[in-house]
Amino acid sequence: MSNENKGMRRIAGAWGTLHWDGEAVFEVEECSADIEVERGDVMVGIDVDSKMTGLKGSGSFKVQHVYTRGVKKLLDAYKKGHDPRSVLSLALNDPDAVGGQRERVNLGNVWFNKFQVAGFTKPEIVGREFEFGFTPTDSDIAEGIY
């Protein structure tokens, strides 16, 4: 039996990375990006069918607090009245992936909806969460595991 369907081929999040505008976010703990298909009802005879009317991208990532740079970058732009846009690149580079391949998704036109400027809970490790939106048509699966 080949190794193609063995447990070692399952991708582990430990090998995940996140780059924000080309800069590695080393302290990332978790990230996700989702596309929601918006639909409207369409009558076909007596059936209620569905028609895609739009796409909406959203996601979030959590980091352990090591650096202030991301928060400062956003806060400085907002204080000047700018609506900054970014590119996020999420990659999974598990060495046991089939054929040594990796998966990388680039999200373009990313805006931030919510982020924590400051806070802590004693005696826990401080973390921050960033919630964002993006336009799905500005996204791409740059590399895949096939």
Q: Which domains does the chain have, with CATH numbers?
A: 10-143 (2.30.110.20)
Q: What whole-number distance in Å separates Cα of residue 48 and Cα of residue 69? A: 50
Residue among 57, 18, 23, 19 nearest 37 (CA): 57
Q: How many CA atoms lie within 13 A of 47 on its CB side?
A: 4
C-alpha torsion sign, points 106, 10, 24, 128: positive
- In three-state secondary structure terms, 16 is strand
Q: What is the pLDDT of residue 60?
A: 97
Ranges of the chain with pLDDT below 50:
none
Q: What whole-number distance in Å separates Cα of residue 134 and Cα of residue 71? A: 18
Q: What is the pLDDT of residue 2?
A: 60
C-alpha separations of 140 from 32, 67, 82, 104, 121 in Å: 15, 28, 26, 9, 38
Q: What is the pLDDT of residue 27?
A: 86
Q: What is the pLDDT of residue 99?
A: 79
Residue 122, phi then psi, degrees to nearest 5 = -70, 145
